[in-house]
Structure 1
Amino acid sequence: MATFRLVVRRLLSSTPLLFLVSALTFVLVSLVPGDPARTIVGQHATVEQYETVRRQLGLDEPLPVQYWHWLVRVFHGDLGTSLFSGEPVTSVLNNRLPVSLSLITAGTIVSGVLGVLLGLLSARRGGLLVKAVDVLALVGLAVPAFWFALVLIAVGAVRLRWFPVTGYVPLADDPVEWGRSLVLPVLSLSLSAVAIIAKQTRDSVLDTFGRDFIRVMQANGFSRRSILYRHVLRNAALPLVTVLGVVLVSLLAAAVFVETVFAMPGLGSLTQQATVQHDIPVIQGAVLYITILVVLVNLLVDLAYSRLDPRVRAA
Structure 2
Amino acid sequence: MPIIDIHHPRQTPPNGLLASLCAAVTELLEIPKDHCWAMWHPVAQGNYWRPGWQDVPANDLAGPLVRIRCKSSYSEAQAKALIQLVSNELARGLECPSDSNFIVLDRVEAGQLLARGNIWPGNEKGAVPITLTPVAFVRNDRADLSDDFWGDVVSELELNTSVVPSHSLEGLEGFSHAEVVFSFHRVAGKPLSLNLRSPRGLAHLPPIGVLSQRVKDRPNWLGVSRCEILARNGTSLTVRGLDAIDGSPVLDIKPWMDAFGPRQKTIEPSWVSEVMQDYYGVARPSGEGVGTSRSLGMLRRFFGTLPFRWPAYSKEDVEILLRTPHIL
- What TM-score does the superposition give when structure 2 sets the normalisation length? 0.18
**TM-score w.r.t. length of structure 1:** 0.19
Determine which structure has greater relative contact order: mean sequence separation of CA pairs < 8 Å that are 6+ residues apart, divided by chain length: 1
Choose 1 or 2 for highest CA Rg. Answer: 2
Choose between structure 1 and 2: higher strand proportion. Answer: 2
Higher helix share: 1
